[in-house]
C-alpha cells in the first residue's frame, strides 16, 4: 500500500493491539504521535491519532484521539494524502472520523454532539467504495442511526380509583414494588427503605438474582418520584430513569388519581442494556399501571 516507513510503523502498532498487547500499542502510538508532531506532518498525525483511538480502552482518551485525528485531517491536502497512501484521498477518512466521534460522544452521554457527527458522517459516506472497508464503515453508520432513530422515552398513564397518598405509598415503598411490576423484573426488596427525599438510595433484587442500587433524583411527597438504577457501587449510574407522576382528581371522595409512568433511556450509554431498554415499551408500562391499580383498588 505504501513505502512510507511511518505508515509501516503505524501498522505494526496496530498489530500489537490486535495481538492483545494494549499497553505496547498505546506506547507505540504515543511515540509515533510525538514524531508526527515534531515533523509537523498533518497526514501522519491524522492516521496515528485515528488508529491510536481504536487501541484506547478509556472512552475519554479515545475521544481525545479522535478529535486530534479530525483536526489533523482538516489540515491535510489531497495531494499529501495521495502521496503517502497509494492514491487514497484523505476524504475517504472523514466518514470513519465523524462516525468514531459520534460513537465516542454517545458513550460519554453527549447526544447532541453525537447526532452532529453522525449526520456529518452520513453526509460523506458516498466517498467510500463498495469494498470491505466501505461496508464496515456503512455498518457503523447504520448501527448508530438505529440507536438514534429508536424512541428512547416510553410513557403510559391511567386513572386509578384510589387516593393519591395510597397509590404513592405502593410506589415509594420498594418492598411493595414487586407486587405490581409489569416488567417481571423485580424479585424482592428489603423492608425499611421507604423513599423520603432526593438522594435516597434503595436496593432491589432482580428476578435474575442481581441487585440494583436505585438513586432517587426527583421527589415530592405524594406527587412525584424518579430514580436511576445502577449496579452496586457504580457512580454515576448508566443513564436510564424511571419516573412516576401522580395527580389527584376532583370528586367528593378524592379517591381517584391520574398516574403516569415514564421510562427514559435517552442518556443510557451501556450497550449491554440496550436490548432490555428497547423491550421496555409503553405496553410494559401499562402492565405495571394495571397491576398497580389492581393492588391499590383492592
DSSP state of 195: -
Q: What is the pLDDT of residues 181-206, one digit of tens each?
A: 987 788 899 999 999 999 999 999 98
pLDDT at 250: 65
**DSSP classification of residue 104:** H
Whether 196 and 239 share a structural domain: yes
Q: What is the 3-state secondary structure (H, E, C) of 210-269?
A: CEEEEEEEEEECCCEEEEEEECCCCCCCCCCEEEEEEEECCCCCCCCEEEEEEEECCCCC
Q: Are residues 178 and 271 in the same domain?
A: yes
The pLDDT tens digits for 27-83 are 999 999 999 899 988 988 998 999 999 898 888 899 999 999 999 999 887 666 555
Residues 12 and 143 in one domain: yes
CB half-sphere exposure, 71, CA atoms < 13 A: 9
Mean pLDDT over 215-237 rounds to 92
Same domain assignment for residues 158 and 144: no
Domain final residue, candidates 114, 149, 184: 149
The domain that holds 237 is classified in CATH as 3.30.530.20
Q: How confident is the model at residue 230 (pLDDT cuts 50, 70, 90)?
A: very high
Q: Which of 8, 113, 82 is nearest to 51 (CA)?
A: 8
- Can you give the pLDDT at residue 185? 81
Give CA 6 to chain center in angstroms: 35
The SS3 assignment for 137 reads helix
Q: How confident is the model at residue 252 (pLDDT cuts 50, 70, 90)?
A: low
Angle at 173 between CA 169 and CA 174, to 5 degrees: 145
Domain of residue 266: give its range.
153-297
Q: Is 69 left (phi over 0), alpha (psi -120 to 50) or beta?
A: alpha
Residue 101 CA to residue 113 CA, distance in Å, equals 8
- Which pLDDT value is given to residue 29? 92
Residues 162, 129 share a domain: no
The residue ranking higher by pLDDT, 89 or 125, is: 125
142, 207: one domain: no
What integer best gives the mean pLDDT of the chain?
88
Same domain, 80 and 113: yes
Whether residues 117 and 168 fall in one domain: no
Which CATH number do you get for residue 38? 1.25.40.10
pLDDT band at 278 (very low <50, low <70, confident <90, very high): confident
Verify that 59 and 145 share a domain, yes or no.
Answer: yes
Q: What percent of the chain has a predicted confidence (pLDDT) above 70?
A: 93
Q: How many domains does the chain have?
A: 2
Task: Please tell me the predicted confidence (pLDDT) of residue 272.
Answer: 82
Neighbours of 115 (CB within 10 A): 16
Local confidence band at 1 (pLDDT 50, 70, 90 cut-offs): very low
Pairwise pLDDT comparison (294 vs 239), residue with the higher score: 294
Query: Is 190 in the same domain as 292?
Result: yes
- What's the pLDDT at 78? 64
Model confidence over 90-125: pLDDT tens digits?
778 899 999 999 998 888 778 789 989 999 999 999
Amino acid at each position: 500500500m505504501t513505502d512510507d516507513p511511518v505508515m509501516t510503523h503505524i501498522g505494526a502498532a496496530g498489530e500489537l493491539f490486535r495481538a492483545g498487547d494494549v499497553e505496547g500499542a498505546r506506547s507505540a502510538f504515543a511515540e509515533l504521535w510525538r514524531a508526527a508532531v515534531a515533523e509537523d506532518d498533518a497526514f501522519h498525525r491524522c492516521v496515528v491519532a485515528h488508529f491510536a483511538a481504536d487501541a484506547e480502552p478509556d472512552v475519554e482518551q479515545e475521544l481525545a484521539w479522535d478529535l486530534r485525528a479530525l483536526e489533523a485531517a482538516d489540515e491535510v491536502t489531497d495531494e499529501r494524502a495521495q502521496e503517502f497512501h497509494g492514491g487514497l484521498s484523505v476524504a475517504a477518512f472523514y466518514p470513519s472520523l465523524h462516525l468514531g466521534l459520534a460513537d465516542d460522544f454517545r458513550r460519554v452521554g453527549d447526544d447532541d454532539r453525537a447526532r452532529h457527527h453522525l449526520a456529518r458522517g452520513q453526509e460523506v459516506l458516498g466517498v467510500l467504495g463498495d469494498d470491505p472497508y466501505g461496508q464496515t464503515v456503512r455498518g457503523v453508520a447504520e448501527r448508530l442511526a438505529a440507536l438514534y432513530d429508536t424512541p428512547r422515552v416510553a410513557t403510559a398513564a391511567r386513572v386509578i380509583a384510589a387516593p393519591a397518598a395510597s397509590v404513592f405509598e405502593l410506589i415509594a415503598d420498594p418492598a411493595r414494588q414487586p407486587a405490581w411490576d409489569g416488567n417481571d423484573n423485580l424479585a424482592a426488596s428489603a423492608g425499611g427503605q421507604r423513599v423520603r427525599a432526593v438522594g435516597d438510595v434503595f436496593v432491589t433484587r432482580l428476578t435474575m438474582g442481581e441487585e440494583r442500587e436505585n438513586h432517587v433524583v426527583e421527589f415530592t411527597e405524594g406527587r412525584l418520584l424518579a430514580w436511576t438504577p445502577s449496579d452496586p457501587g457504580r457512580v454515576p449510574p448508566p443513564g436510564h430513569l424511571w419516573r412516576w407522576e401522580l395527580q389527584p382528581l376532583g370528586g367528593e371522595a378524592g379517591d381517584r388519581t391520574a398516574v403516569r409512568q415514564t421510562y427514559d433511556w435517552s442518556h443510557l450509554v451501556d450497550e449491554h442494556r440496550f436490548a432490555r431498554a428497547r423491550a421496555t415499551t409503553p405496553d410494559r408500562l401499562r402492565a405495571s399501571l394495571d397491576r398497580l391499580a389492581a393492588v391499590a383498588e383492592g
